[in-house]
Structure 1
Amino acid sequence: MTATTTGARPRIFYGWAVVAGAFAVTFFGFGSAYTFSTFFEPLQREFAASRAGVSLVFSIAGFLYFALGVVSGPLADRFGPRALAVGGMALVGAGLALAGAARSLTEVYLAYGLGVGLGVGFAYVPAVAAVQKWFVRRRGLASGLAVSGIGLGTLAMPPLAAWLIEAWGWRAAYVSLGVLALVAGGGLALLLSADPARHGLAPDGEAAVAAERAAPTGAPFRSAIRSRTFAGLYLSSLICAFGVFLPFAHLVPYALDRGVPAGQAVLLLGAVGVGSTAGRFLLGGLSDRLGQRPSLLLIIFGVAATMALWPALSGVWPLAAFAVAYGVFYGGWVAILPALLMSEFGGRHVSSLIGVLYTSVAFGTLVGPTLSGWAFDVTGGYQAAILAAAACNAVGGIIAWRATRR
C-alpha cells in the first residue's frame, strides 16, 4: 500500500534510495574511470607509448562522459533516469573488458575511451539530476552524498586495481573491473527514479496531497542558458577543468618520478578519494548553511591554492597531504554545481541544464591531462603544467564570483 492511498509518509523516504542508486553509479562508474593512473605504467610499457599518448586515453573518456550530458540530460528529463543509468553502466563494463583485450593503444582508445566515456556519460547526469528533484531543504547534503561515490570509488577502486594487476596482470584486471561495474553498478542503478509523485510524495517526503498538487517549476530552458549566471558558470567550469583533472591522470607518475615506491604511489589516489568524500559531505552540508554561491568560490580558490603548492612537494606524506586537500575541494566542486543550478533555475529542466554545463568540463578534461603529458615529454617535468592548472582555477574563481554576485 502506497503513501498515496493511506495519506501517510513511508517509514523510509524513498529519496534516500534514489541517493543510494546515484551513489552506486558514481562509485562504480567514476571509481573504475579513476583507476586509470594505476594502469598508466603498464599501458606505457606494453605499447611503448609516450606520456601524452597514454594520457589521451583518459582525456577521451573524460571528454565523453562530461560532453554526453547534453544528450543524456534531456533524455532523462523525458524518459527518466533508470534506463539510461543501467545502460550506461553496461557500457562501462563492456569498455573495461574490451580494453583488457586490446592489441594496440588505438584499441584502448576505442574500448576504454568510448566504452567508459559513453557509459559514464549516459549514467552520471541522469543519476545526479534525479537526486535534485527529491530534496529542497537538504539538497546540498543529498547531492553531496550521491556524488560522494566518486570520492569513495577513488579511494577503493585504484588499490583494488593495483592488487588485480599484481595478481593477474593488467588485462585481467580490466576485465574484472568491467564485470564489477556491470553487475553492482548496473544493478543498484535500478533504484533511480526522478518523479516523487509516482511514489505518492513531494520533495523532502512531504505528504501525498502535496505531491498531487505539485508541478515542475523553474526557468524556461532557453532563458536559463542565455542568462548571465549560467554563462558565467559555464565559462568558469571550462577554465577550471583545464587543470582540475590533472592529478587523476598524472599524480601516480609524478610520485614515481619523485622516488615514491609504486605501492605507495597508488595509495595517493586513495588519499584523493578520502578528501573528495569528506569534501562532498562537509562542503555539501556547509553550502546548505553558508549558501551555494560563497561555497563555490571557496572551493574553486581552494583548488587553485592546493595546486600551486603541489610542485614544491615530494615524498609520500607531503604528497598524501596534498592529495587529501585537493580531494576536499574537488569533491565540493562536483557536489555543489548541480545543487546550485537547481536553486538558480528550478527543476523543470535541471537534467538538461546540468548536461549543458558539463560540456564545459568535457572540453577542459579533453585538453588538460593530454597537454600536461605533452608538457612533461617536452620539458621533462610537471612544474609548468601544474602551475598553469593552478592559474586556470584562479581565473575560473574570479569569473564565478562575477557571474554569481548580486
Structure 2
Amino acid sequence: MSVCAAGGSRRSGRSRRAARWFEVSRLKPPQTRWLVVAAAFTLMFVGFGAAYSFAAFFRALQEEFAASRGHVSAVFSVAAFLWFALGAPGGMLADRFGTRRVALAGVACLGAGLAAAGLAPSLTLLYVTFSVGLGVGIGLTYVPSVGAVQPWFTHNRAFASGIAVAGIGAGNFLVPPLAAWWIELFGWRGAFFALAALCVVLGGAAAAVVDNRPGGVPRAAAPPPAGAALGSALRSRLFWALYGTLLLPMFGCFVPMVHLAPYATDAGHPEAVGVLLVSLIGLGSLLGRFSIGAFADRVGRIAALAWMFAGLGAMLLAWWVSTSVLALGAMAVAFGVFYGGFVATLPAVVMDLFGGRAVAGIIGWLYTAAGVGTLAGPPLAGVAFDAFGSYDVPILAAAVLSFAGAAGAYALRGARPLPS
C-alpha cells in the first residue's frame, strides 16, 4: 500500500469516526436528554399527584354519597390495581408505537377521567370515571415514561432515572394540599375539574416532548443482555418466592395513602392535617429513593429490601399507637422513606436475580403483586373500620404481613441468580 493510500485510509477512518461522533451528538444533545427526563418527571408528577390527592376527597365523597369507608376506598384501590396491571402492556405499546403517542393517550385518559369524576352522580360512576381514567392513564404514562429515559443515556442513567421517578414523590407531596385548597374554593366537583386541567396542560406538554427514540429512529439492534428469558423466570420457583414476598407487604402498603387522612380526622385533627400527613409520605418517599443506594450497597440489595419491608411494619405499629400531629407526622415521613426505598431497591434486586434480558417484563409481572395487594388492602381496611369502629385490626394485620414479607426477603439472601 502506498503512503498516499495509507494516509487516505487513516483520514477516511478519522472521518468515519468523526461522522459517527457527530451523528451520536446530533441524536442525543444534552439539552434534549434532560428535557425528556423533565417530561417523564412531569408525567409522573401529575398522574400520581392526582391519584394520591384522593385522600383530600375522601370525606367529601363519603358524605356526598352516604357511603361506607370500604366502598369509598375501593375507588382508589381499583385505580391502583389498573395502573400496576397495565404497566407491562403500556411499556410494550411504547416500544411499538413510541412513548409520545402512548403518553398522549394516557394524559387524555387522566383528563377525561377526572373531568367525568366531577360530574359523577353516584359512587358507582366514580369507579367508571376516576378509577378507570386514572388507572389506564397512569398505566400508559408511568412505565413508558421511565423507559423513555433509558436510551438517551449511557452515563448517568441511574441518576437520570432517579430524577424522573422522583416525580411520583413530588406529586404525592404537593398535589394533595393543592387539591384540598381547591375543594375549599370550588367544592369537590370543581376540584376534580381543576385537577383535570392540571393534568391536561402540564401532562399534555410533557407527553408532547417525551420520546424513547433519540433522533426519531429506533435504537440499533443489539444482542440481548445476559439473563433469564421471561418465560423461564415465570416458571421458576425463585420468581414466585419473590412474588409472594412482595405480595404480603402490599396489602398494607397503600392503606395509609387512603386511610391516614380520615384516621387523623377521627383523632380530632382538621381535615387539612390529614391531607398534610399524606403529603409527608410523599416527602419521605423522595428521601428514600435518593438515600437507599449507599445502604443497599453496604448490606446487600436483597437484605436492604428486607429492611424496607420491616421498616414499613414498624411504622404501621407506630401509626397504631399515634394520635398527636407530631407523632403521626414523624411516622408518615418515615413510612415514606421505607416505601421509597423499597420502590428504588426492587428493580436492582430483579436485575441481580434474573439478569437484564427480560428485566422490564419481570418487573411488570411482579408489579401485579402490588396491584393485587392494593386492590384488597385499603377496601378491607375500610370494611374493618365500618365493622369495628376503629383501624386497629387492619393496621396490626398490615404490620404482621409486612414483617412476614421482610422475613421472606431475608430468606432470599442466599438465592442463586437464575441461569440464562
TM-score scaled by structure 1? 0.89
1:75 Cα deviation (Å)?
A: 2.6
Show structure 1 runs of 5+ residues with no match.
201-210
Show structure 2 runs of 5+ residues with no match.
1-17, 416-420
2:188 maps to: 170
Moved more, 294-303 or 379-388: 294-303
2:225 maps to: 217
1:212 Cα deviation (Å)?
A: 5.9
8 A contact 1:148–1:331 mirrored in 2? no
* Residue in structure 2 matching 1:383, options 384, 392, 397: 392
1:296 maps to: 305
Distance 1:47 1:127 in 2: 36
1:89 Cα deviation (Å)?
A: 1.9
8 A contact 1:372–1:385 mirrored in 2? yes
Residues 7/254 of structure 1: CA separation in 2 closer, same or farther (3 Å cut): closer
2:5 maps to: none
1:402 maps to: 411
1:278 aligns with 2:287: yes
Give SS of 2:140's match.
helix
1:288 Cα deviation (Å)?
A: 5.8
Residues 309/405 of structure 1: CA separation in 2 closer, same or farther (3 Å cut): same
1:345 Cα deviation (Å)?
A: 3.8
Moved more, 153-162 or 23-32: 23-32
1:258 maps to: 267
1:222 Cα deviation (Å)?
A: 0.8
8 A contact 1:84–1:123 mirrored in 2? yes
Residues 30/154 of structure 1: CA separation in 2 closer, same or farther (3 Å cut): same
Residues 397/128 of structure 1: CA separation in 2 closer, same or farther (3 Å cut): farther
Residues 90/309 of structure 1: CA separation in 2 closer, same or farther (3 Å cut): same
1:365 aligns with 2:355: no
Deviation per residue, 1:199-236 (Å, 9 max, x gap) = 89xxxxxxxxxx86844424322122233443222212
Residues 94/384 of structure 1: CA separation in 2 closer, same or farther (3 Å cut): same
Code of the aligned partner of 1:88: G
Moved more, 133-142 or 310-319: 133-142
* Residue in structure 2 matching 1:238, options 244, 247, 252: 247
1:98 Cα deviation (Å)?
A: 0.5
* Residue in structure 2 matching 1:12, options 22, 30, 40: 30
Distance 1:283 1:159 in 2: 27
Moved more, 126-135 or 330-339: 126-135
Deviation per residue, 1:301-350 (Å, 9 max, x gap) = 11111112111001111100000000111112222223433454444433
8 A contact 2:302–2:412 mirrored in 1? no
1:66 maps to: 84
1:147 aligns with 2:165: yes
1:133 Cα deviation (Å)?
A: 5.4
2:340 maps to: 331
Residues 136/236 of structure 1: CA separation in 2 closer, same or farther (3 Å cut): farther
1:401 Cα deviation (Å)?
A: 2.5
1:203 maps to: none
1:90 Cα deviation (Å)?
A: 1.6
Distance 1:265 1:16 in 2: 35
1:386 Cα deviation (Å)?
A: 0.6
Deviation per residue, 1:213-264 (Å, 9 max, x gap) = 8444243221222334432222122111100000111000000001112222
Code of the aligned partner of 1:48: A
Identical columns (%): 48
1:269 Cα deviation (Å)?
A: 1.4
Higher relative contact order (CA 8 A, sep 6+): 1
Deviation per residue, 1:51-77 (Å, 9 max, x gap) = 111111111111111112242233334
1:206 maps to: none
1:28 aligns with 2:46: yes
Give SS of 2:390's match.
coil
Higher Cα Rg, which structure = 2
1:76 maps to: 94
8 A contact 1:154–1:273 mirrored in 2? yes
Moved more, 151-160 or 86-95: 86-95
TM-score scaled by structure 2? 0.86
Residues 402/140 of structure 1: CA separation in 2 closer, same or farther (3 Å cut): farther
1:182 aligns with 2:200: yes
Residues 29/342 of structure 1: CA separation in 2 closer, same or farther (3 Å cut): farther
1:55 maps to: 73
